[in-house]
Structure formats: structure tokens, C-alpha cells
Amino acid sequence: MPTIFSHAVFAAVTGKAFLKKPVSFWFWFLTAVCAIIPDADVIGYSFGVQRGSMFAHRGFTHSIVFAVLFGIFAALIARKLLKTPLSFARLAVFFSLATLSHPMLDMLTDGGPGAAIFAPFTNERFFFPWQPIEVSPLGLRFFSSRGIVVILSEFVWVWLPAITILGLSMIVRKILQRSKAAN
């Protein structure tokens, strides 16, 4: 996995690019939870889950089905507890994509098991053909030399693209506003 910080930053920063309306701190907190929750699967090992099974690391919680289910759950929470201006359907799509961004990033890493993106239908593990992100082992010590390599790689391949997407979306929005005002 990329470190959980990078998962959270990627989902929140790219998410911001696609939201026009202002939302609260807790909305972004929920977005970060969606992006991190798939790695909660590591607790399975304490409960006797076998390595390589569908509920092992990067198994079911890294699937499209899980992302949709958790996205709907997060949308329910947002509707109940946060006064967000977005419809339930939009919230569900937003949080599902935030959750799905996690296995997508994992599939760009150069190590670990692949993501069982089509679970529960198959436990086959997948990577993208291009894997530029240095994998961060679970329990990584950040200030080891390996930690620095991982952080640099995540900055280049996760943070920079997210910031670029946000920047482009702001520019596009400005241009659209201007052309609207001109008409």
C-alpha cells in the first residue's frame, strides 16, 4: 500500500476537484476514512484469516463491491449527521469512488499481493501493468532510508497528481465562470 496518509490525501484532494459546493471538515474526515478503511483488513490476521484468502490483506475490502457498499454506508452517515448540500445519490457515488481510489492506488504499487478488485466473484489478485509507486510495508518505520524512498515516491506519484488535478479543476472552473459572465 501507499501509506494511509497518501490514501487519505489523494481521495480528499482529488475529491475537492469534483465538488463545487463547500462542505464541512467532517465531510473530508469521512472521505479520508473511506480511503483508509480497506487496509483495516490486516486485523483479520489476528483472527486466524489465512494469507491469500479472500479476506486476507488486499482481499474483499479492496474490491469494487466493497467500495460501493461502503460508499452507500458513508452516504447514509453523511445524510444523517452532516448537513451536506449534496443528494444521497451523489454522496454515495462520491464516497464509493473515494473508497475505490484505495485499491486503485494499491494496484500501482510495486509489491505485496495484488488487489482482489473483483471479489467476491473471484479472489484473483490484480495489479496495473504500470507500477511506479514504491510499496510501503505494513508497520513501516518512516525515518529509515526505505521510509524516505517510499515517501518521495508517494509524493511524486500520489500527491503531485492529486494537486495537479485540483489545480486544473480550479482553472477550468474559473474559465467556465468567465465565459458564463461574458454571455
Residues in contact with Zn ion by CB under 5 A are 1, 38-39, 106
Q: Are 43 and 55 in contact (CB under 8 A)?
A: no
Residue placing its CB nearer to Zn ion in the complex, 31 or 84: 31
Of 13 and 37, the one with the shorter C-beta distance to Zn ion is 37
Output the CA–CA distances (angstroms, integers) from residue 24 to 12, 18, 84, 98, 130, in the order listed: 12, 15, 8, 16, 36
Cβ-closest residue to Zn ion? 1
Least Å distance between CB 76 and Zn ion? 24
- Which residue number, 25 or 47, has a Cβ lying nearer to Zn ion? 47
What residues contact residue 23 under an 8 Å CB cut-off, 6+ apart? Answer: 82, 84, 85, 86
Q: Nearest approach, Cβ of 49 to Zn ion (angstroms)?
A: 15
Least separation in angstroms between CB 4 and Zn ion: 9
Q: How far is the CB of 43 from Zn ion (least distance, A)?
A: 13
N- to C-terminal Cα separation, the chain? 48
Which of residues 75 and 107 has its CB atom nearest to Zn ion in the complex?
A: 107
Give CA angle at 57 (52, 61), nearest 5°: 115
- Taking each helix axis from N to C end, the angle separating 4-18 and 88-106, rounded to the nearest 10 degrees, works out to 140
